[in-house]
Amino acid sequence: MKFAFSLKNKLKIAFLLFCIMCCTLLIRFLEDKSVEKINESFISMYNDRLVPATDLYFIAENLHYKNEILQETLLGNGAVHPSTGMVKMNTHNRKIDSVINKYELTLLVKQEQNFLNDLKKALTVQQGLEAKILNMAGTEGRAIYESMGRNAANQTLAKLSALIKIQSKVGNELIKGSEIFVSGTKVYSTLQVILAIVIGIMIVAIISASNVVKVQSDKFNLN
């Protein structure tokens, strides 16, 4: 009877330890997943937010250079010939197109994609007007620039600014997501500490129970 009772207790303890072991493995798995998600968030922050944001400012820089070319061609008293201005303009257009193509390969949310499409349309309109202005040059070119060209350039900058702002918004959302995963990792670490304490208490309890049984057995033998 004593043997059966002892065996039953051992089975309960073994089952409890097995459950604790399973919980520890599960917590470890969840913790690894959280770390993986945090790592993915930081990689995405760099590849899909920081680098593209720098590229978008590069587009703004090229738009500024294009405006300078128009100013020098139209108002520079022949400092830049229209054909030379067209060559320079096409060089900057190719740089902008290259950045746009690179940007499209990054991870884009729906709102970003919409803003990017708006920017591409604005760039197309602006490039068409720039070509028309440089082909005409002189008085007619200046008239087109003043009536439509300047406004088209401002519209393009506005679309670019909106795209840059949405970049910051999405970046903040990624940071908040990382903070959630970090909080989860802290919770998992706390649970691991609690399980370690429970295991320690169980070990002490088992040792104490073993000592009590041993003392009682020794007394029984002396009697």
| Domain-located, residue 210 | no
Dist. CA 146–CA 155, nearest whole Å: 14
34 neighbors 185 (Cβ within 8 angstroms): yes
Other CB atoms closer than 10 Å to residue 112's CB: what's the count? 20
pLDDT at 183: 66
Residue 58 burial (C-beta neighbours within 10 Å; 0-12, 13-18, 19+): middle
Give the tens place of pLDDT for each residue, 22-32: 777 777 777 77
Q: What is the pTM of this model?
A: 0.62
What is the biggest distance separating any 2 CA atoms in the chain, rounded to whole angstroms? 125
Domain assignment of residue 89, given as a range: 50-193
| Domain-located, residue 198 | no
| Domain-located, residue 172 | yes
| Domain-located, residue 205 | no
| Domain-located, residue 223 | no
Residues with Cβ within 8 Å of residue 161, at least 6 apart in sequence: none
Helix residue ranges, H only, 45-109: 51-75, 82-103
C-alpha 95, offset from chain centre: 25
| Domain-located, residue 13 | no
| Domain-located, residue 5 | no
Domain count, the chain: 1
pLDDT at 221 over 50: no
Tokens of 204: 């002490």
Give the tens place of pLDDT for each residue, 41-67: 666 666 667 777 788 888 989 999 988
Residue 166 burial (C-beta neighbours within 10 Å; 0-12, 13-18, 19+): middle
Nearest alpha carbon to residue 184 among 36, 45, 20: 36
C-alpha 17, offset from chain centre: 40
Give the tens place of pLDDT for each residue, 63-120: 999 888 888 887 766 566 778 888 888 899 999 999 899 888 887 778 888 888 999 9
pLDDT at 193 over 50: yes
| Domain-located, residue 28 | no
Q: Can you give the CATH number for the domain in which 73 is found?
A: 1.20.1440
CA dihedral of residues 43, 46, 52, 57 (deg, nearest 10): 170
Dist. CA 137–CA 133, nearest whole Å: 6
Dist. CA 206–CA 201, nearest whole Å: 9
